[in-house]
Amino acid sequence: MTRAFPALAAVLTATALSAAALQAPARSAMLPAAEGTRECTPGLAQYVAQPPDAFAQMGIEAAWEFSDGEVVVAVVDSGVAASNAHLGSAVLPGLDLVERGDGRTDVFGHGTAIAGQIAARPVSGSGLVGVAPKSKILPVRTYVDMQDQSMKAGKGPDPRRTAEGIKWAAEQGAKVIVVAQSTTQDTPALRDAVRLATAHGALVVASAGNASENDDGASIRFPAGYPEALSVTAVGRDGLPSQAVVHGLHVEVAAPGQAVLTTFLDSGDCVLAGEQASTSYATGYAAGVAALVAAAHPQEAPADWEYRMLATALRSSRSQREKNLGWGLLAPREAINFVNDGRLQGPHNPRFPAPAKQVAPLLPQPVPQDPPPVDPFLVVAGMAGCSAALTLAGVLASRLIRCGRTRSAQDG
């Protein structure tokens, strides 16, 4: 039976990832075809020949000249379907905190999609490959799915299991830990887990959150809101901020999150989030970039990797952060090659104090001289000229207004 992958966005109860922005393989899970689009079908391996759109947006192939991302990336999520042809050789035995197993199973699809963005291996007939093509995935299964039956059975997303999964992944030596989900709950367990991961040398990359009908789209989400974590928001295919995601001062960096080509359960490829951007998928791409950076600079700490990504992100003002995109759109090649000499203004530098702002020197001002005597005739003439100019300006303004109204009526 052919069907689109079910929508996974939901607002969870207080016992789970409440107000969660876990917007996973969405209603717009489709494959491009000659006649238009066709639905992704569980159990049917289908492939997309074109590379992911995000590669051009971020310049991924240019970054591969300097790093292939050969580190372990933990995916704390719904598990990972290691049976997908793109992932078989990339997925390590992991942990299942919900059922018996090692995390290499996924009936929901979210974790598999994130893993594919990061580490998908080449498959004949497919243009899909991961951002960090030599990385290894450590799956940590913390929930089964978000169906009512699973939620009632206690198998839905839960901050306590997420925290436990983060800690376990860090203790296994993962260098990047991706949590492509979020909650409004600032829990001690989550906070301590992120701190422990950082102390173990792992960078936690987390979703800044998708907006929901039950909030103002600006509430801080966790674990993204913790200072040690990298908080990721999403841009659309046009590179612009999306109104479908959370905005705010906890947002640190942006990555593409719409029309994402990635792995679909055990069934090849699928294009997800076609209708609107999702921070889940932006977080997947950011985790892949973090793997590239970490592999290129193994001697550095997680704070250094994060700083490289923030300092080099593309933005209009180098020294200013804004609520929609944080410090800007990720630039992987620049992040890898960045030299931290302490002179850059902008995000917090973990190795240098903030550089002093340049202040223009005070120059001596010339002493004004007495003005020449004014001819009364020139004053009168000047006033008349100003009056005429104002009259002309008023006429032109009225014509422009009338013209604008006419044009608007014609466009109507």
219 is catalytic: no
Unique residue bearing structure tokens 């990635």:
262
108, HSE (Cβ side, Cα atoms, 13 Å): 25
Do 190 and 163 touch, CB atoms closer than 8 A?
A: yes
Torsion, CA 304, CA 310, CA 311, CA 314, rounded to 10 = 150
Strand residues in 112-168 grouped as ranges (E) = 136-141
Return the DSSP state at 11: P
DSSP β-bridge partners for residue 316 = none
Closest listed residue to residue 131, CA positions, set 262, 321, 246, 279: 262
Structure tokens at 106: 């996924």
Question: What's the burial of 45, exposed, middle or buried (CB within 10 Å: 0-12/13-18/19+)?
Answer: middle
Question: Which of 77, 96, 106, 304 is the catalytic position?
Answer: 77
Q: Which of 106, 250, 280, 304 is catalytic?
A: 280
Closest CA to 286 of 58, 26, 108, 89: 58
DSSP state of 113: H
Q: Which helix (H) or strand (E) element contains residue 255?
A: strand 253-256
- Which of 86, 110, 247, 250 is the catalytic position? 110
- Whole-angstrom CA distances from 399 to 386, 389, 393, 396 are 20, 15, 10, 5
Which DSSP category does 301 fall into? -
From the list 261, 264, 263, the residue with the least C-alpha distance to 273 is: 261
Q: Are 279 and 255 in contact (CB under 8 A)?
A: no
Q: What's the rounded Cα separation, in Å, for the pair 14 and 283? A: 24
- Whether the CA torsion 359, 360, 364, 367 is positive or negative: it is negative
Active site residue 269: no
Active site residue 53: no
List active site positions: 77, 110, 280
